[in-house]
């Protein structure tokens, strides 16, 4: 998706701040030296727009675009290794730490704990005290 195609997308459903971020990212796109990275940034931008102009994601895309101007080789390496996914837990696109395996493990443990917990008896299910007077 190129900058021309991005402009064709209806931006009426996004906030003014998101529109400003989108415009800024679009202005940076032609200055990215690598075609592959430029296409990636445009694709991420299209995804953010289709998500209703997610401002946190747009800020990360702006950082990615600015970084791509000087470090296209680093970005291409991260593309090759699959390290350029938006992480909703950290709010980052470029992250040195992949937290998803840890999150999956935590969710698994939480499910096991919920299964192993015995349900507590309610007031009605408890035996009445015996009256031995």
- Give the separation between CA 38 and CA 75, rounded to whole angstroms: 10
At residue 85's C-alpha, the angle toward residues 79 and 87, to 5°, is: 150
Contacts of 79 by beta carbon, 8 Å cutoff, 6+ apart: 36, 37, 40
**Please, is 36 exposed, middle or buried when counting C-beta atoms within 10 Å of its C-beta (0-12, 13-18, 19+)?**
middle
pLDDT digits (tens, 9 = 90+) for 9-62: 556 677 888 889 999 999 999 999 888 889 989 998 988 888 888 888 899 899
Residue 76 has a pLDDT of: 80
pTM above 0.75, yes or no: no
């Amino acid at each position: 998706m190129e900058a021309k195609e991005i402009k064709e997308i209806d931006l009426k459903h996004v906030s003014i701040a998101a529109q400003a971020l989108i415009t800024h990212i679009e202005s940076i796109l032609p200055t990215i030296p690598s075609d592959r990275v430029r296409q990636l940034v445009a694709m991420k931008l299209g995804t953010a727009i289709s998500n209703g102009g997610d401002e946190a994601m747009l800020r990360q895309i702006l950082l990615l675009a600015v970084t791509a101007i000087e470090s296209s080789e680093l970005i291409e390496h991260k593309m090759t290794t699959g390290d350029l996914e938006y992480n909703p837990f950290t709010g980052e696109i470029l992250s040195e730490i992949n937290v998803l395996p840890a999150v999956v493990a935590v969710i698994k443990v939480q499910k096991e704990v919920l299964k192993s917990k015995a349900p507590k008896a309610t007031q009605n299910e408890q035996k009445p005290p015996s009256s031995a007077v």
